[in-house]
Amino acid sequence: MPKASLRDSILDAGLKAMFRTGYNGTSVRDITAAASAPQGSFTNHFRSKEAFASEVLDRYFDHTKGLVAEALQDTSLTHRQRLRRYLDIITGRLEGEGFSRGCLIGDLSLEASGSSELLRTRLAAIFAEWRAPFAACIAEAQKAGEIASEFAAEDLADFLLASWQGAILRMKVDRSPAALDRFKTIAFQTVFREPS
């Protein structure tokens, strides 16, 4: 009987480790130890730590896309309410971690994009893909008169994701939801306000 691949176990362990100690603070030895895998298994499956981190990002982003779909495809809500619903879903997940863990995409953007061109390129592609459903939802909200149309939907989607990432960073420092709540309150009373 063929031996089961350790690839998924290594990816799962790496995702958890990078959340705890970051990209630079996580060694291949840490990852394989957490996966109970021999160190050679890592090099059998991944050509470098950078390539591994890129796959970890893909795994994390797949999960994130599921949360985006859960909120933005909820036809029982208006388009504006769907945007707020996404932020509330994420807030609930962050609360479940005691506001100590943030977003791996944001974390690696800060930590690795300056030192790894491979990861910077992958992160840029993730942000572009991540923005698309928000831009579509915002455009529909603008068309329905739910959100003011002073700014392009794509620009508002970029603003939403970038500002939300900043609020998450502040949340981690404070170990409090205050920055998240402040962002939601201000954003939905200004940029995403209902036209008067």
Tens-digit pLDDT profile for the chain (196 aa)?
455 578 999 999 999 999 889 999 999 999 999 999 998 889 989 999 999 999 999 999 999 999 999 999 999 999 999 999 999 999 999 999 999 999 999 999 999 888 899 999 999 999 999 999 999 999 999 999 999 999 999 999 999 999 999 999 999 999 999 999 999 999 999 999 988 7
Q: Give dist(CA 19, CA 36) in Å, integer.
A: 18
Right CATH number for 1-46 from 3.40.50.300, 1.10.10.60, 3.40.50.1970, 3.20.20.70?
1.10.10.60
Q: Give dist(CA 25, CA 5) in Å, integer.
A: 26
User: What pLDDT score was predicted for residue 39?
Assistant: 86
Q: Give dist(CA 124, CA 189) in Å, integer.
A: 29
Angle between helix 104-111 and 117-143 (nearest 10) = 130
Q: Give dist(CA 18, CA 164) in Å, integer.
A: 21
User: What pLDDT score was predicted for residue 166?
Assistant: 96
Residue 40 phi/psi, 5-degree rounding, is -65, -25
CB 94 within 8 A of CB 180: yes
User: What pLDDT score was predicted for residue 5?
Assistant: 73
DSSP state of 5: P
**Sign of the C-alpha dihedral, residues 127, 133, 136, 137?**
negative
48-189 belongs to CATH 1.10.645.10: no
For the chain, give every domain's residue range: 1-46, 48-189
Neighbours of 86 (CB within 10 A): 21
User: What pLDDT score was predicted for residue 6?
Assistant: 86
**Sign of the C-alpha dihedral, residues 87, 88, 94, 99?**
positive
